[in-house]
Amino acid sequence: MSEDGYWSRAITRGVSRRGLLASGGAAGAGLALAACGGSKSPSGGSSSSSPASSGAASQIKQGGTISFGATDPAMWKQTDAHKALIFSVWHWLGRHAIKLDPDTKKLTPLTVASWEIPGDGSEFIFKINPNAKFSNKPPSNGSNFTADDLAWNIMRNAGKLDPAHAAEYQRSTTMYPVDHVDVIDPMTAKAVMSKPSSTFLAGLTEAHNPMMPKDYVEANPQLTNITAFPGHGPFTVKSYEEGGTISFVRNPNYMLPGLPYLDQIDWLTLPDAATKVSALVSGKIDMYEEPLREQVAPIKASRPDVKLMKSTGFNWYHFRFQTEKAPFTDPRVRRAMFLALDYKEIADGTWGEDWSYTGPLSPKNPEAYTEEQIQALPGYNESTKDKDRQTAKQLMAAAGYPDGEISFTILPSSPIPSNPANPNSIRAQDQWKKLWPKMDVKIQPPPDTPAFNRLQGSNDFQMIAYTNTEFPDPALQLAAQWHTQGGQLGSRNYGKFHNADADAMIEKALVTIDANARKQILLDFQKRYFEEWMPLIHIAMAPDRYFVGPHFGNFDNLLGAWWFINFRLGTASEYFSHV
């Protein structure tokens, strides 16, 4: 692969967003992770680095327990890392093949110790970290993570081992365009692409892609006994009570020396947000993540020693149209509904502050529209809102609905009232009905998140209110969300949007190595997305906010865009400490 290829140049342009605000003051720390990239020569490096500021590293202590609270009783029911909607237990039990340095976006070793790209990006040769070992649970029993485990995880995540149910593998696009993976020896695997790829390595780092042990999953495909799961991550499950508490304890076999810092992490299931706030105030839990606008001031007043930490968010909330169901088959209707909404009013109402504008690509990507460009567009531009709403009424009338006489149901992603999908839905419902009084807009939350996962995955909805996490590569983002569903592409295109021009642009971006040419393709895509297609309404990028208790240490060193909002609670858990 050429030295000026995409991954030898573009990854170094990732954002460095410490941006930490603690109790109104600014603080932050750099990270010290080994960088590892690939060109024509083998790539490698130590995978034992840990993020810590120069002054804080000596203060981190081994041992102790940190507690979290979850208001979703079904949080741990999705036990398959390759199919789970958001979190799975494998974010604590497993680890990725490689990871992104969260400040520089450079690729860094983890389960894979080094890699080589011997040609044009059609082959990737991986050397397994010899220190990657599974926990002492059968059938793995402390054995090494092998090249066979890596090959199996890649191929299964790609949906290629279960083609009859390929649609259930929601991140299969992250493995595109893998054709097969050869096991060269127990510690070496070669992934062979169907065409040169500029995205495959980034796909391995995607937040939802921790790996599982092949032997256990093949022997126990239903994955029901959480306490029996062996993993090669920093923790194992000590105990689990459905609807109660799950306790993770330190995995002594973990591949990174000296980690994890904690002895134990407890997740308590709590009945609602108010109980969770009370648990934080009383000291029962050590963190409250993603507080809504109305929760911030009471928590600050009730617990002044708890710090509010903030960082760049990478979860984008949205309304997704089912584009194969009337009236959303008509792009005029979709654009009319987009133009009608006041996004500042919705986002201010839900989060209060710290949110940001976003489009099909996060503005933190150098290939994306900037936040200022998005904010100036019709629909998002506050100064043209009256004009935009008049345009919306004209578009709706041209589509055959002069008074907005359409009926549809919004499916929020969660039954929990404090989940932002619900207040966002209520505010949008109110705004649409004010503009079109004859519009019939219903909101029907699912019974639980697994039910939402099934409905979304089977495309069984008219409109969903949900959030997605930004992919680590912008071309992968578009390929997963907007390419016509089929094979490995379009794995998150739940609204079944399809457009031949969009598909062609995405496919070209996926194989374009030159960074400047690739950027132009992505910019052209975004222009047509906003002006013509509008398959989804982007509400806002949610703020990445956490109330952190006084006994929770080192969290300030784990903030920044590419840690990924909330996924760091699992994927960075080895760096948590108790003060």
Structure tokens at 264: 């134990």
Task: Report whether pLDDT(367) > 70.
Answer: yes
Distance CA 577, CA 579 (A): 7
Dump pLDDT digits (tens) for 222-261: 999 999 999 999 999 999 999 999 999 999 999 999 999 9
First-to-last C-alpha distance (Å) of the chain:
47
Give me the helices (H) in 272-362, please. Answer: 273-282, 293-302, 331-340, 343-351
Task: Please state, for a pLDDT cut of 90, what percent of the chain lies above it.
Answer: 80
Listed range (38-42, 289-293, 305-309) with the worst mean pLDDT: 38-42
Query: Which pLDDT does position 565 carry in this prediction?
Result: 67
Q: Residue 293 phi/psi, 5° resolution?
A: -55, -50
* CB of 415 closer than 8 Å to CB of 423: no
pLDDT single digits (tens) 66-86: 999 999 988 999 999 999 988
pLDDT, one tens digit per residue, over 435-474 is: 999 999 999 999 998 899 999 999 999 999 999 999 999 9
- Give how far the C-alpha of residue 577 lies from the chain's centroid of Cα atoms, to the nearest Å: 24
Whether residue 41 is predicted with pLDDT greater than 70 in this model: the reply is no
d(CA 577, CA 241): 25
Establish whether the linkage from the previous residue to 130 is cis, with ω within 30° of 0. Answer: no
Instruction: Return residue ranges of the chain for CATH 3.40.190.10.
Output: 6-312+543-578
Do 141 and 171 touch, CB atoms closer than 8 A? no
The residue-averaged pLDDT of 533-538 equals: 97
Instruction: Name the percent of the chain lying above pLDDT 70.
Output: 89
Amino acid at 484: T
Lowest mean pLDDT among 18-32, 272-286, 316-330: 18-32
Domain 315-541 has CATH 3.30.565.10: no
Residue-wise pLDDT for 186-221, tens only, equals 999 999 999 999 899 999 999 899 999 999 999 999
Residue 143 has pLDDT above 50, yes or no: yes
Q: Assess whether pLDDT exceeds 70 at residue 185.
A: yes
pLDDT at residue 311, rounded to an integer = 84
pLDDT at 508: 95
| Measured distance CA(379)–CA(373) in Å, rounded | 12
pTM comes to 0.85
Instruction: Report whether 27 contacts 556 (CB < 8 A).
Output: yes
| Residue-wise pLDDT tens digits, 555-579 | 999 987 777 767 889 999 999 999 9
Q: Does the pLDDT of residue 26 top 70, yes or no? A: no
Confidence of residue 56 (pLDDT cuts 50, 70, 90): very low
Average pLDDT in the chain: 89
Q: What per-residue confidence (pLDDT) applies to 4? A: 34
For residue 319, pLDDT over 50 is answered with yes
Indicate the residue type of 173: T
Given a cut of 50, whether residue 29 has pLDDT beyond it is: no
Mean pLDDT lowest for which of 38-42, 331-335, 398-402?
A: 38-42
Least confident of 25-29, 109-113, 549-553: 25-29
Tokens of 379: 């629909």
pLDDT at position 64 is: 97
Does the pLDDT value for residue 8 go beyond 50? Answer: no
Mean pLDDT for 102-106 is: 83
Phi, psi of 405 (to 5 degrees): -80, 65
Whether residue 11 has pLDDT greater than 60: no
Question: What does the pLDDT read at residue 300?
Answer: 96
Q: Would you say residue 12 has pLDDT above 60?
A: no
pLDDT in the model for residue 562: 76
Write out the DSSP string of 93-144. Answer: H---SEEE-TTT--EEESSEEEEE--SSSSEEEEEE-TT-B--S-TTTTTPB
The Cα–Cα gap between 104 and 16 comes to 6
Task: Please say whether the beta carbons of 357 and 541 come within 8 A.
Answer: yes
- Give the pLDDT band of residue 347 (cuts 50, 70, 90): very high
- In this predicted structure, the answer to whether residue 49 has a pLDDT above a threshold of 70 is no
Q: What per-residue confidence (pLDDT) applies to 59?
A: 66
Helices 474-482 and 500-511, axial angle in degrees (round to 10): 150
Length of the chain: 579
Return residue ranges of the chain for CATH 3.10.105.10: 315-541
Residue type at 157?
N
State yes or no: pLDDT of 170 exceeds 90: no
Contact assessment for residue 145 and residue 60, using Cβ atoms and an 8 Å cutoff = no
Residue 547 CA to residue 291 CA, distance in Å, equals 8
Q: What is the pLDDT, as a whole number, of residue 15? A: 31
pLDDT band at 485 (very low <50, low <70, confident <90, very high): confident
The structural architecture, per CATH, of the domain 6-312+543-578 is: 3-Layer(aba) Sandwich (3.40)
